[in-house]
Amino acid sequence: MSVTAARGFVASGIHAGMRRSSRDLAVVCSTVPSTGSAMFTVNRVQAAPVVVSRAHLEAAEPRAVIANSGSANAATGKRGELDALATTAEAARLLGLRAEEVLALSTGVIGTRLPLERMLVGLRDAVPALGPDGGHDAAEAIMTTDTRSKEAAVSRDGFTVGGMAKGAGMIHPVLATMLAVVTTDYPLGPGEAAGFLRPAVDESFNRISIDGECSTNDAVVLLANGASGVSRDAARDESFRAALREVCADLSTQIVSDGEGATVVLEIAVTGATNDSEATAIARRVATSPLVKTAAFGRDPNWGRVLAAAGSATWNGGFASLDPELVRLAFNGTTVYELGVPLAGDPDLSGAACRIDLDLGLGDGAATYLASDLSYDYVRINAEYTT
């Protein structure tokens, strides 16, 4: 159940002194040549490791990832990029790789420089510690406000997909979200990984929101080394797609469940939209509504907030199509509004999950989204984040 579940991958997670007590530096590496791809934040403010990793992916196939917590190395200027380059160069030297084969990920407070000397010394401890049992340590090392590590793995048809992720706050994806490293021993050729990764991310990490905030450091990396030795055909490629989607969905669900201060997971399902794109816009709007999220925290079936959010979903320069006379809305299977008329349903919202079904009655478009509630603890955690 880790990023080293697939054959030919090793990892480590150590304490390098960037955080007070916990592990804060992770390394993941393929022991044999690999190929891969990554998706990064499209926030206009991009962290130095994002800039450096993009450049490295254009120059070489990735074989290793280094990730630190404690400093985002974002909004740190040219010096931040030089620091990121120095860490990938040192990791490459220790691993016997080209610097361009190493990707860098960082998470922590924006505007703080990477503690470069601690990173370099830490790498000299982390690389010798690499091993097939180091996945859990690596997953712990990338945590920030997470309360638990996030790991997943799927094995089928002779190959394995494994992964780790971190994320609990500043979660609202735009092409990617938080930090995630996914590995597989399935054989992919150079340039092929992106075609498998993008749809898996779009269906999972791209459909979650904790607080509607898009990070400067978001990244999802896929490494594939072919160490399983399986042969490829159309059926096995489809099996790999399904396994990759399953791992990404598992990790993204774990992120929402561990949202900062979260007490409820909201599963929002929109059907009957004019098209899938409009359905996604409406599901996203409901998932990010502070009024919907605070009602969920209070276990308050205030369905009018859902309807109002859905009716104000922006799409294609205007608003997504919605006719309240055609809408059916249900909480946890109990219909509360139908065809323009409120119903006397009394949904049970006492549990740790709430499903919101919104049928627009307009067409075949559909989309789902996962979100967390907005609690007192979320405000406390983020009010005290740097103090």
Say which residue the tokens 């309360």 belong to: 147
Q: Tell me how far apart the alpha carbons of residues 244 and 231 are, in angstroms, rounded to a whole number.
A: 17
Element (H, E) at 165: strand 159-166
Q: Look up 76 and say whether it is catalytic.
A: no
Determine which one of 76, 88, 177, 280 is catalytic. 177
For 297, the token pair is 């925290």
For 51, the token pair is 């800039």
Beta carbons of 182 and 276 less than 8 angstroms apart:
no
Give 181's strand partners. 164, 221
Q: Tell me how far apart the alpha carbons of residues 39 and 198 are, in angstroms, rounded to a whole number.
A: 7
Say which residue the tokens 């104000």 belong to: 312
Q: Tell me how far apart the alpha carbons of residues 11 and 318 are, in angstroms, rounded to a whole number.
A: 47
Please name the amino acid found at residue 304.
G
DSSP-assigned letter for residue 190:
T
Say which residue the tokens 């917590």 belong to: 69
Q: Tell me how far apart the alpha carbons of residues 131 and 104 are, in angstroms, rounded to a whole number.
A: 19
Name the nearest CA neighbour of 351 among 289, 265, 286.
Answer: 265
Catalytic machinery residues: 177
